[in-house]
C-alpha cells in the first residue's frame, strides 16, 4: 500500500512473472495492475487486479483501511486484468455496492454471476458522494472496451483513467512519478498503446477532448506510474499517438527462413545508419533472445513514418510471421505511412507483390515497386544503398 494523498491509496500489484500480456505481448519489464482506494466517510475501491494476487491484494487494502469496510467498488473497465478479483472483494466485503454503467452489467453478470441488487448503475456525469468528496463518472467507450468509463475525483483533481495513459512496466514502491520518469517509460508506453489500444485512435481522441474540460493534476491509470509531474507529457504523447502522428524515420520489419531476407534487412539498416536516418529493425521470427517481434514492430510503426517490410515468398505467399504483422497493421487502422517491400524468393516472386497490394489497400504511399530478389542476398541483386537514398 502506498499513500498517494490524504484520501487516495495505491493498492495495486506488480506482475513480474507473466511472460505475455493478453497471451500475446512480451513483458520484459513486467506490468502493474493498479487499484486505488478513496478513503472518506465512505470507502471506494477503484478497479481490482488480476487473479493470482488474492492474498497480497487484500493485505494491501487492509493495511490502508484496517477493519473499515469497502462501501463501493467502482468498475471502470471489465477486462479481467482489472476485474478478476471482483468476486474476492464481494466475499471479503459482503455489503459492497458495485458501481458500473449499463454496458458493464451483462459483462459482470457473465464473468462473475453478480446479482442485480449488488449493482449501482451510473451514467454520464453522475456523482457519488463519499462524504467530503465525490466521484464523477464519464463514459470512455472503446478505451479500451465498450463499457469503459473514467472516474473523476474533483477534490483531488485526480482522474482514474482506466487503461488510458497506461504503460507496460512494473512500478516502484512509490508509484507516483517524479520529473524525468516519463522518459524511462516512454518506449513501453508507446508499445502498450500500439499493442493494446492502437486500434482506437478516434475513441481516445473523444476521451481526451472530454478530459480536457477537467482541471486534471493527477492521472491514476490502471497500468504504470501515477502521473503528476509528467502528466502533461503523458497526455501529449497519447494525443499524438491517437492522431497517428509520427516523426520521419524507418521501421524495418522482416521475417527470414534462411537468412537472405535478414541479410538484406541488415544491409538496409547499415545504409540508414551511415546517413543518420532514424530507424528501428525487428525480426518477426524472433531468432534472437529479447526480440519483441510484432509487439516491438508495432511500437515503432507508431513512432516512424516509413515502414519497410521484408518477407521471403512462402507457399507462393507472404511468410506467415510477416503476414501476422500486416494483419496487426490493418487491425490498428494505421494511416499516413510510406511503405516499401523487399524479400527473397527461390522460383516465384510473390511476397513483394502481395505486400504491396496489402499496403495499398491500407492507403499507404508505396515508394516503389519493391525489391524481390532471387535466392541468396547479394549487394548486386538487392541494392540497399539506393533504397536508403530513396528513404532519406
Over the window 67 to 96, marking each residue x when it contacts ligand FEO by CB under 6 A and - when it does not, the resulting string is ----------x-x-xx--------------
CB of residue 203 to ligand FEO, shortest distance in Å: 13
CB of residue 104 to ligand FEO, shortest distance in Å: 13
Site for ligand FEO in 163-182 (CB under 6 A): 163
Residue 47 makes contact with ligand FEO by CB under 6 A? no
CB of residue 115 to ligand FEO, shortest distance in Å: 25
Site for ligand FEO in 235-274 (CB under 6 A): none
Report the alpha-carbon distance of residue 253 to residue 311 in Å, rounded.
9
Q: Site size for ligand FEO, by CB under 6 A? A: 8
Residue 146 or 154: the one with the smaller Cβ distance to ligand FEO is 146
Report the alpha-carbon distance of residue 356 to residue 161 in Å, rounded.
39
Residue 104 or 313: the one with the smaller Cβ distance to ligand FEO is 104
Which residues lie closer than 8 Å to 131 by C-beta, 6 or more apart?
40, 41, 42
CB of residue 153 to ligand FEO, shortest distance in Å: 20
Residue 222 makes contact with ligand FEO by CB under 6 A? yes
All three cell numbers of 196, joined, read 493494446
CB of residue 82 to ligand FEO, shortest distance in Å: 6
CB of residue 181 to ligand FEO, shortest distance in Å: 20
Residue 42 or 144: the one with the smaller Cβ distance to ligand FEO is 144
* H/E stretch holding 83: helix 80-83
CB atoms within 10 A of CB 142: 17
Residue 82 or 228: the one with the smaller Cβ distance to ligand FEO is 82
Residue 200 or 340: the one with the smaller Cβ distance to ligand FEO is 200
Residue 77 or 358: the one with the smaller Cβ distance to ligand FEO is 77
* Dihedral Cα 86, 18, 162, 241, nearest 10 deg: -160
Helix%, strand%, coil% for the chain, nearest 5: 35, 25, 40
User: Partners of 44 in the beta sheet?
Assistant: 38, 72
Site for ligand FEO in 296-355 (CB under 6 A): none
Over the window 275 to 304, marking each residue x when it contacts ligand FEO by CB under 6 A and - when it does not, the resulting string is ------------------------------
Residue 49 or 391: the one with the smaller Cβ distance to ligand FEO is 49
Residue 163 or 188: the one with the smaller Cβ distance to ligand FEO is 163
CB of residue 9 to ligand FEO, shortest distance in Å: 20
Question: How do strand 13-15 and strand 20-21 relate by DSSP bridges?
Answer: unpaired
From residue 301, alpha-carbon distances to 166, 282, 338 in Å are 19, 11, 11
Cα 20 vs. chain centroid, distance in angstroms?
Answer: 13
- Closest by Cα among 331, 328, 326 to 343: 326
Residue 74 or 355: the one with the smaller Cβ distance to ligand FEO is 74
Half-sphere exposure of 172 (CA within 13 A, CB side): 11
Report the alpha-carbon distance of residue 212 to residue 195 in Å, rounded.
25
CB of residue 83 to ligand FEO, shortest distance in Å: 9
CB of residue 114 to ligand FEO, shortest distance in Å: 19
Q: Are 37 and 253 in contact (CB under 8 A)?
A: no
Q: What is the DSSP code string of 246-267?
A: -EEEEEEEE--SSSHHHHHHHH
Residue nearest to ligand FEO (CB): 79
Residue 191 makes contact with ligand FEO by CB under 6 A? no
Residue 221 or 306: the one with the smaller Cβ distance to ligand FEO is 221
CB of residue 14 to ligand FEO, shortest distance in Å: 14
- Closest by Cα among 312, 256, 257, 318 to 281: 256
Residue 144 makes contact with ligand FEO by CB under 6 A? yes
Q: What is the DSSP code string of 143-209?
A: SSSTT-EEEEEGGGTEEEEETTT--SB---SS-B--TTHHHHHHHHHHHHIIIIIGGGHHHHHHHHH
Q: Which residues would be at the binding site for ligand FEO (CB under 6 A)? A: 77, 79, 81-82, 144, 163, 222-223
Amino acid at each position: 500500500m502506498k499513500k498517494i494523498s490524504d484520501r487516495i491509496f495505491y493498492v495495486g500489484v506488480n506482475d513480474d512473472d507473466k511472460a505475455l500480456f493478453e497471451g500475446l505481448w512480451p513483458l520484459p519489464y513486467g506490468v502493474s495492475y493498479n487499484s486505488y482506494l478513496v478513503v472518506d466517510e465512505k470507502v471506494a475501491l477503484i478497479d481490482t487486479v488480476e487473479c493470482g494476487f488474492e492474498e497480497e491484494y487484500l493485505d494491501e487494502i487492509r493495511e490502508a483501511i484496517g477493519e473499515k469496510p469497502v462501501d463501493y467498488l467502482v468498475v471502470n473497465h471489465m477486462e479481467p486484468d482489472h476485474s478478476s478479483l471482483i468476486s474476492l472483494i464481494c466475499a471479503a466485503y459482503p455489503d459492497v455496492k458495485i458501481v458500473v454503467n449499463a454496458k458493464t452489467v451483462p459483462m459482470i453478470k457473465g464473468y462473475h454471476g453478480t446479482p442485480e441488487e449488488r449493482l449501482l448503475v451510473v451514467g454520464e456525469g453522475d456523482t457519488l458522494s463519499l462524504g467530503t468528496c465525490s466521484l464523477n463518472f464519464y463514459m470512455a467507450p472503446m478505451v479500451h472496451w465498450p463499457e469503459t468509463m473514467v472516474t473523476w475525483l474533483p477534490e483531488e483533481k485526480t482522474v482514474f483513467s482506466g487503461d488510458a495513459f497506461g504503460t507496460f512496466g512494473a512500478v516502484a514502491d512509490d508509484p507516483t512519478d517524479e520529473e524525468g520518469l516519463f522518459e524511462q517509460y516512454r518506449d513501453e508506453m508507446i508499445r502498450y498503446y500500439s499493442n493494446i489500444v492502437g486500434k482506437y485512435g478516434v475513441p481516445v481522441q473523444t476521451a481526451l477532448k472530454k478530459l480536457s474540460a477537467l482541471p486534471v493534476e493527477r492521472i491514476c491509470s490502471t497500468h504504470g506510474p501515477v502521473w503528476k509531474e509528467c502528466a502533461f507529457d503523458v497526455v501529449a504523447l497519447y494525443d499524438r499517438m491517437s492522431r497517428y502522428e509520427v516523426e520521419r524515420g524507418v521501421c524495418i520489419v522482416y521475417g527470414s527462413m534462411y537468412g537472405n531476407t535478414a541479410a538484406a534487412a541488415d544491409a538496409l539498416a547499415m545504409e540508414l545508419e551511415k546517413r543518420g536516418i532514424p530507424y528501428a529493425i525487428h525480426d518477426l521470427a524472433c531468432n534472437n533472445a529479447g526480440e519483441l517481434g510484432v509487439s516491438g514492430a508495432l511500437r515503432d510503426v507508431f513512432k516512424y513514418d516509413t515502414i519497410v517490410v521484408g518477407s521471403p515468398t512462402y507457399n507462393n505467399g507472404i511468410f506467415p510471421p510477416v503476414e501476422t504483422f500486416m494483419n496487426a497493421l490493418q487491425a490498428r487502422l494505421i494511416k499516413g505511412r510510406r511503405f516499401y517491400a523487399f524479400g527473397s524468393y527461390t522460383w516465384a516472386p510473390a511476397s513483394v507483390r502481395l505486400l504491396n497490394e496489402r499496403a495499398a489497400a491500407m492507403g499507404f504511399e508505396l515508394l516503389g515497386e519493391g525489391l524481390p530478389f532471387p535466392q541468396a542476398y547479394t549487394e548486386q541483386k538487392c541494392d540497399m544503398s539506393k533504397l536508403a537514398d530513396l528513404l532519406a
